[in-house]
Structure 1
Amino acid sequence: MIERPSQTWQRRVAEQEAAVAAGTLPQDQAYAAELWPAEATAAVDVVLAAYAQELADLPTVTDEAAWAAVERVVLALNAIDERQAVIETGEREELCEYLDAVLTEAGVDVTALTAGRSLHRAELTDAWRDW
């Protein structure tokens, strides 16, 4: 099972909160909760979990099904980011890597999938991504 970026963000927030509580990290150096607010991170987590489950539930992931799943998850992430502006460069890279990894885990050759639309693998989300 691939760890969702949102789970990583939640863990970083919790680690910093624990360090502040333990007195090992000054409050003014605890940045994680500002980067990854709980509400936005939870929303991203729900969307990513649904994406992974959708692909896992398919007996065979066709190109059409893969593209449809990518489109749905990217549009959902766009909506979250539009409301809360939480996806910056680092998060974008983590999210794109995750979307690719989930497809790969589901048996999709992402290089072939994207090549079928004359795209590079790194352009998997570009048609819909606003973040």
Structure 2
Amino acid sequence: MVDRPTAVWRANVARDAAELATGVIGPEEAVSARLWPDEMIRATDAVLDGFEADVAGLVDHRWEAATDTEVLEVVERTVRALNAVNNQFHGAAYETDERELLCEYIDRVLGAAGIEADELARRNGLLSGDITGPWRDW
């Protein structure tokens, strides 16, 4: 299983809460819960659940490899769902660090399923390292 960006965000929120509770940091320094509110993390996890299930469906018990079109449809559906989450949070759910983690996660999940994201991008005229680009608003 590939580690999710949401696990990183939850860990940061928990660390800030623990440090705030013990006085290591003050309220002004405990920013993680504002950056990654629980509702946003849960909404992102729901999208990632769907992505993982869709990717599994591309490779599990199939006689032939998934087509590029099938894979890109899964990526597009996922990115558009993440766009919707981002929009729920006024375009501020996913900034640069979050974007990098999400894009890396998508590539790693595909890779774990035997789908090489960079090759997929190359074959389809997309930027290597960013197969989310055509649909991503964040």
**TM-score past 0.5 threshold:** yes
Q: State how far apart, in whole Å, the 1-side matches of 2:95 and 2:57 are.
A: 30
Q: Partner letter of residue 80 of structure 2?
A: L
What corresponds to 1:82 in structure 2?
A: 87
Output the aligned Cα RMSD.
Answer: 1.3
Contact 2:103 2:130 in 1 (8 A): no
Alignment of 1:16-95 (within 5 A): 16-58=16-58, 59=60, 60-84=65-89, 85-95=92-102
Identity %: 40
Query: Tell me, which stretches of 5 or more residues in structure 1 are unaligned?
Result: none
With normalisation by structure 1, the TM-score equals: 0.93
1:112 to 119, 126, 135: 119
Shift of 1:19: 1.2
The answer to which of 116-125 and 32-41 deviates more is 116-125
Alignment-derived partner of residue 103 in structure 1: 110
Cα offset for 1:104?
0.5
Deviations 1:12-44 (A, max 9, x none): 101110111122221211110111111111101
Q: 5 Å matches for 1:2-17?
A: 2-17=2-17
Contact 2:117 2:129 in 1 (8 A): no
Matches of 1:123 and 1:6, distance apart in 2: 20
Instruction: Read off the aligned partner of 1:62 and give its amino acid letter.
Output: T
- Distance in 2 (CA, whole Å) between partners of 1:37 and 1:116 is 38
Residues 24-83 of structure 1, C-alpha deviation per residue, up to 9 Å, x if partnerless?
Answer: 221211110111111111101111122012212332443222111100110000001111
The amino acid of 1:9's aligned partner reads W
For 1:70, give the aligned amino acid.
V
AA of the residue aligned to 1:26: G
Instruction: Number of aligned residue pairs: give it.
Output: 131
CA drift of 1:110 comes to 1.4
Q: TM-score, normalised by structure 2?
A: 0.88
2:137 aligned partner, one-letter code: D
Checking the alignment, whether the CA contact within 8 Å between 1:51 and 1:69 is kept in structure 2 is yes
